[in-house]
């Protein structure tokens, strides 16, 4: 693991959160860009397991926002979110921001393994995720579109976030959904132009602009909600035998978006369509979408019609995300399948454009 933290540094980080805790064990965990450690700490009466999430060197990575959003979701929903034990936004000697979070039960499954999860297990996970997303979207926390940040005037020096919605902010929020989408499309297609799929970028640019112009012609109908956004098996814990959702992890990239946008990203990434060029893998996006919406209707019936609205633009952007990160995905795929998966992605995008060209 690159950029590891020393035992002395970890002891110092734990003591800022609780001066009576002592570090017993520290094991690095490979989770994305951040430095994450499984810790065993001694308390006054026992030991406990927890996790430490720290900013990577030279990057913010949304760690401070992650702690606040997690606390809000835990306070306002029944979603399985681990409790924040303490957070530190700034420190002269330690790698801040960072926070400690309680350990949760469940199994970690890499997101590219979704294609090999059984139908029954995947359906259960999707339905329960839909329930949690319905509750998430009903939290009245945002009034514009954009990246969900936090109130920087409320600095934490080891304490717990309050879990109140007034701790959240939308950084440089945009009032218009079409305007926000234009900016997001520009960013994503800017990355796409540097990917192995760059020959498709000009066509995607013109198609996306046409679709956004159609959104411009609508009279309202787009309201911001807290969007999970960073969907995939890699950001949840599940009971691998039943599919029961035991934890929703990693809220650093929460966005204020529309319900339909958030649901479409979840349906695409959990549906595993990006792997369907592998012979034994099926595109189960329709099955996953139905299960997501069934769960969603049980907790947010008032938002379900908006959430159920299919827009090909949102599905395309989910595909673009996979394309943009494909070189990170390739080595995790079964040996010899990388080229086939890349070609399958290309064909799926071209098919979507053809089906929705008018």
The answer to whether the beta carbons of residues 84 and 100 sit under 8 Å apart is: yes
The answer to whether the beta carbons of residues 167 and 161 sit under 8 Å apart is: yes
Phi, psi dihedrals of residue 231, rounded to the nearest 5°: -80, 160
Which whole number is the average pLDDT over 145-167? 96
Q: What is the pLDDT of residue 103?
A: 97
Q: Give residue 123's pLDDT band: very low, low, confident or very high (50, 70, 90).
A: very high
Measured torsion, CA atoms of residues 298, 299, 301, 305, in degrees rounded to the nearest 10: -90
Which whole number is the average pLDDT over 47-64? 87
Q: What is the pLDDT of residue 30?
A: 82
Q: What is the pLDDT of residue 1?
A: 45
Domain residue spans of the chain: 7-102, 111-355
Q: Give residue 94's pLDDT band: very low, low, confident or very high (50, 70, 90).
A: very high
| pLDDT tens digit sequence for 12-24 | 999 999 999 999 9
| pLDDT tens digit sequence for 128-142 | 999 999 999 999 999
DSSP notation for 161-220:
----GGGEEEEEEES-HHHHHHHHHHHHHHHHTTSTTGGGHHHHHHHHHHHHHHHHTS-S
Residues linked to residue 42 through DSSP beta bridges, in sequence order: 22, 47
Percentage above 90 pLDDT, the chain:
91
Q: What is the pLDDT of residue 3?
A: 75
Which whole number is the average pLDDT over 107-117? 94
Q: Give dist(CA 273, CA 66) in Å, integer.
A: 28
Best CATH choice for the domain 111-355 from the list 3.90.1200.10, 3.40.47.10, 2.60.40.1180, 2.60.40.420? 3.90.1200.10
| pLDDT tens digit sequence for 315-335 | 999 999 999 999 999 999 999
pTM recorded for the entire structure: 0.95
Residue 107 has pLDDT above 90, yes or no: yes
Q: Give dist(CA 98, CA 26) in Å, integer.
A: 15
| CA distance from start to end of the chain | 49
Please, which residues have CB within 8 angstroms of residue 147's CB and are 6 or more apart in sequence?
A: 170, 171, 172, 253, 254, 255, 256
Best CATH choice for the domain 7-102 from the list 3.40.50.720, 2.60.40.150, 3.40.50.150, 3.30.200.20? 3.30.200.20
Q: What is the pLDDT of residue 289?
A: 98
**Cis amide prior to 271 (ω within 30 degrees):** no
| pLDDT tens digit sequence for 186-236 | 999 999 999 999 999 999 999 999 999 988 766 556 999 999 999 999 999
């Amino acid at each position: 693991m690159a950029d590891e933290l020393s035992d002395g540094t970890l002891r110092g980080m734990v003591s800022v959160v609780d001066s009576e805790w002592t570090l017993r064990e520290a094991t690095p965990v490979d989770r994305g860009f951040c430095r994450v450690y499984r810790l065993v700490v001694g308390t006054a009466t026992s030991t406990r397991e927890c996790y430490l999430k720290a900013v990577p060197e030279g990057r913010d990575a949304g760690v401070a926002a992650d702690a606040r959003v997690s606390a809000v979701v835990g306070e306002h929903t029944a979603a399985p979110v681990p409790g924040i034990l303490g957070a530190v936004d700034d420190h002269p000697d330690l790698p801040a921001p960072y926070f400690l979070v309680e350990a949760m039960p469940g199994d970690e499954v890499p997101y590219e393994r979704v294609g090999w999860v059984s139908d029954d297990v995947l359906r259960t996970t999707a339905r329960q995720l839909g329930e949690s997303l319905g509750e998430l979207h009903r939290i009245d926390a945002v009034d514009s579109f954009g990246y969900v940040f936090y109130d920087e005037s409320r600095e934490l020096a080891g304490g717990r976030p309050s879990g109140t919605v007034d701790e959240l902010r939308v950084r440089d929020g945009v009032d218009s959904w079409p305007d926000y989408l234009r900016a997001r499309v520009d960013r994503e297609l800017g990355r796409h132009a540097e990917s192995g799929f760059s020959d498709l970028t000009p066509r995607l640019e013109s198609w996306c602009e046409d679709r956004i112009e159609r959104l411009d012609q609508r009279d309202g109908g787009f309201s911001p909600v807290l969007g999970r956004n960073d969907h995939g098996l890699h950001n949840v814990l599940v009971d691998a035998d039943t599919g029961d959702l035991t934890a929703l992890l990693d809220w650093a990239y929460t966005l204020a978006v529309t319900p339909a946008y958030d649901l479409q990203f979840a349906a695409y990434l959990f549906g595993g369509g990006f792997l369907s060029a592998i012979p034994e893998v099926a595109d189960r996006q329709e099955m996953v979408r139905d299960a997501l919406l069934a769960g969603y209707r049980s907790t947010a019936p008032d938002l379900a019609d908006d959430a159920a609205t299919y827009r090909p633009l949102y599905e395309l952007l989910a595909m673009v995300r996979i394309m943009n990160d494909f070189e990170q995905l390739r080595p995790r795929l079964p040996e010899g399948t990388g080229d086939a998966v890349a070609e399958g992605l290309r064909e799926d995008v071209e098919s979507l454009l053809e089906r929705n060209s008018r």
